[in-house]
Structure 1
Amino acid sequence: MENAHLKNISGLLLATLFISTSGVLGRYIAMPTEVIIWFRAAIAMVLLYFYCKYKKIDLTIKSSKDYKPFFISGLLMALHWVTYFYALKLSNVALGVLSLYTFPIIIALLEPLFLKVKFDPIYILLGLMVLTGLFILTPEFNIESTQVKGILFGVFSAFCYAVRVLILKQHVAKYNGTMLMFYQTVIITILLLPTLFFMDISGFKSQFPYLLLLAFLTTAIGHSLMLHSLKFFSASTASIISSLQPIFGIILAFFFLQEIPTMRTFWGGSLILLTVVIESVRSRNKFKV
């Protein structure tokens, strides 16, 4: 049991690291946001399809009742990605990622309504710890600044992501995580297809390597691993542990974008890390094979 728990925790942490690369890539790629997301989804869709075929993963949606939640979750994922990338481009990687990480609190508050589980008051404390860490990390800002607009986009992205996770949580018992991610990318590709006809795509050739990395590492692998982890942890547990993403994102931004973190970053990041450690220990005690 301990080895299985360690394996699943490691998978969740690896998923968090891979997903955190979206911050650097989203800010670096020089193309319109909606176009970036379309290529991200379209390339990931192809990769996930061939992976599912190779692994003989069933792509059949077993019930017509599942069509609606599949579509709604795909729509929310599209909104999450687009608004998150706007947050990155309007502010910086640190603020964009950190504003997104209000979503563990949103999930903790909404999970009993979606999944009919008993609300655990500990998530209020852990959520407040994460929020405090984000508050410490966030610099002072003017309400009219682009940074504030970026933060607002990030919080809205967090809400979309939280609701999407809770909707998918209802279906992971019967669907493979990679299969779920495949259909997410299909829906996003269809929804954002019109953007190719009225937005600038001239930079595609030079930006393709980074789009491929975003689609393969961040999306196909990272998000599939994250969805897979929902089989072993509650949505609240998975979301709070994945709060390491701001730390990973800030470190990557330092090395690849020369965005230098401040002492506030270190203090806030330490508080988030403490929250992750606490939840990792708690989840071990309630883990089931």
Structure 2
Amino acid sequence: MNEKSHLTHLLLLLIATICLSTSGPLGNFIDMPTPVIIWWRSILAAFILFCFCLYKGINLKINNKKDRFTFFIAALLMGGHWIFYFYALKLSNVAIGMISLFTFPVIIALLEPLFSKTKLDPIHILLGAMVLLGIYVLAPEFNLENSQLQGIMCGILSAICYAVRILMLKDHITKYNGIMLMFYQVLILAVVLAPTLYFMDASNITTQYPYVLMLAIITTAIGHTMFVNSLSYFKASTASIIGSTQPVFGIIIAFFFLNEIPTKHTFVGGALILATVLIESIRSKKK
């Protein structure tokens, strides 16, 4: 990868990260049951991505049964990631919910050798530790009765689902278009979550639809698709550590739109996370 191409792909990955970071403020703000929000997010994104695939002539054929099974499991993992994440946001706040999710680069760095021939790079353990330290600084005092701790635990569960899903799809991005991969995942998730509409109150969609549309288009259709595409140019651990700026962007967005005021701990923790991004960006350029 030459210097100009590297900078272009790095810029696209950062744009994907900013789009993905809108999930925190939107997930915290939208006033509907979490599974209902995720269903609307999935069905709208599926429609948008299907239209885009038709417009661009993207092949939607899945080659074999093994890949179909992988896509199905990946969709369930994405559903687990989104649902646990949104519960984390609602139990705590945007800062805590997003930050707790970002244990996932450490999980990916540790698990990636199990999914591919990649050897465990000791530097990723160090960078992961820096991210964890940033999270520790940002997190409130741990109290088992505190809903914020429950939010952190949901965030970590979300991170586990997210990490495994990324690693499962890593080899498929070379065989399939990233937009096609995302389309099938949101389509499967929409079908799986459809029964929740009968058991949970979905009436608030009449007032919440602009924000659900933003979640479907900006966060899901654009952000997730661009991030999956980035795996063609970066290792999963590299892309994930660079994506660790999401809490920083999310906290900034929450400050302006939800009036959530960050503390000095937020700035210190955010600085540690940004440091890992800069280090990994420089390291990935040399590969």
Pairwise mapping of residues 134-153 of structure 1 onto structure 2 (< 5 A)? 134-153=135-154
Q: TM-score, normalised by structure 2?
A: 0.99
| Cα displacement string for residues 243-278 of structure 1 (whole angstroms, at most 9, x for unaligned residues) | 000100100110011110011110110111111000
Give the drift of 1:143. Answer: 1.1
RMSD (Å) for aligned C-alpha atoms: 0.6
Q: Secondary structure at the match of 2:173?
A: coil
Aligned residues: 286
| Cα displacement string for residues 197-229 of structure 1 (whole angstroms, at most 9, x for unaligned residues) | 110011111101110000000000000000000
Give the drift of 1:175. Answer: 0.8
Q: Secondary structure at the match of 2:43?
A: helix
Pairwise mapping of residues 47-196 of structure 1 onto structure 2 (< 5 A)? 47-196=48-197
Partner of 1:217: 218
Give the drift of 1:30. Answer: 0.4
Give the drift of 1:64. Answer: 2.0
| Cα displacement string for residues 142-163 of structure 1 (whole angstroms, at most 9, x for unaligned residues) | 1111111111000000000000
Distance 1:144 1:275 in 2: 32
Give the drift of 1:281. Answer: 0.4
Partner of 1:20: 21
Partner of 1:35: 36
| Cα displacement string for residues 70-116 of structure 1 (whole angstroms, at most 9, x for unaligned residues) | 11100000010001000000000000000000000000000000112
Question: Which residue identity lines up with residue 148 of structure 1 in the other structure?
Answer: L
Distance 2:52 2:127 in 1: 37
Distance 1:243 1:24 in 2: 16
Partner of 2:243: 242
Distance 2:66 2:155 in 1: 31
Distance 1:116 1:106 in 2: 17
Distance 1:237 1:120 in 2: 11
Give the drift of 1:63. Answer: 1.9
Where does structure 2 lack aligned partners over 5 or more consecutive residues? none
2:258 is the alignment partner of 1:257: yes
Pairwise mapping of residues 270-285 of structure 1 onto structure 2 (< 5 A)? 270-285=271-286
Give the drift of 1:141. Answer: 3.0
Question: Which residue identity lines up with residue 102 of structure 2 in the other structure?
Answer: Y
Q: Secondary structure at the match of 2:143?
A: coil
2:220 is the alignment partner of 1:207: no
Question: Which residue identity lines up with residue 16 of structure 1 in the other structure?
Answer: T
Where does structure 1 lack aligned partners over 5 or more consecutive residues? none
Distance 1:39 1:47 in 2: 12
Give the drift of 1:62. Answer: 1.5
Distance 1:211 1:268 in 2: 30
Q: Secondary structure at the match of 1:172?
A: helix
Give the drift of 1:2. Answer: 1.1
Give the drift of 1:119. Answer: 1.2
Distance 2:176 2:286 in 1: 26
Distance 1:271 1:126 in 2: 10
Distance 2:54 2:204 in 1: 32
Q: Secondary structure at the match of 1:130?
A: helix
Question: Which residue identity lines up with residue 164 of structure 1 in the other structure?
Answer: R
Q: Report sequence identity in percent.
A: 60
Q: Secondary structure at the match of 2:203?
A: coil
Partner of 1:227: 228
Question: Which residue identity lines up with residue 99 of structure 1 in the other structure?
Answer: S
| Cα displacement string for residues 143-197 of structure 1 (whole angstroms, at most 9, x for unaligned residues) | 1111111110000000000000000002111111111100110111011000001
Question: Which residue identity lines up with residue 140 of structure 1 in the other structure?
Answer: E
